Structure 1
Amino acid sequence: MTSGTKEDLDSAIKNYQDAYSDLKNKYSDVDSTHVAIIDQNVKRTESQVQSYMSRRLATKAALPKGSKSPDFVNYENHAGGNMSLSDFKGKYVYIDVWATWCGPCIREIPSLKKVEEQYHDKNIAFVSISVDNGRGYKNDPEAAHEGWKKMVVDKDLGGIQLYADNGFQSQFVQDYKINGIPRFILIDPDGNIVSSDAPRPSSPALVKLFDELGI
Structure 2
Amino acid sequence: MPGSFHGRLFPQNTIHLVHSSYSLHWLSQVPKGLVAESDLPLNKGNIYIAKTSPPSVHEAYLTQFQKDFTNFLSMRSQEIVDCGSLVLTFICKNDEEDGCDFWELLGITMNDMVIEGLIAEDKLAKFNLPLYAPSIKEIKQIIGKGGSFKLLHLETFKLKRDSNMAEKEEATLFDEKSRAAYIAGNMRAVQEPILVEHFGEEIMDELFERYGKKAIEYMKNYGKGIINNVVISLSKTN
TM-score by length of 2: 0.25
Q: Which has the larger radius of gyration?
A: 1
Q: Which has the higher contact order (CA 8 A, sep 6+)?
A: 2
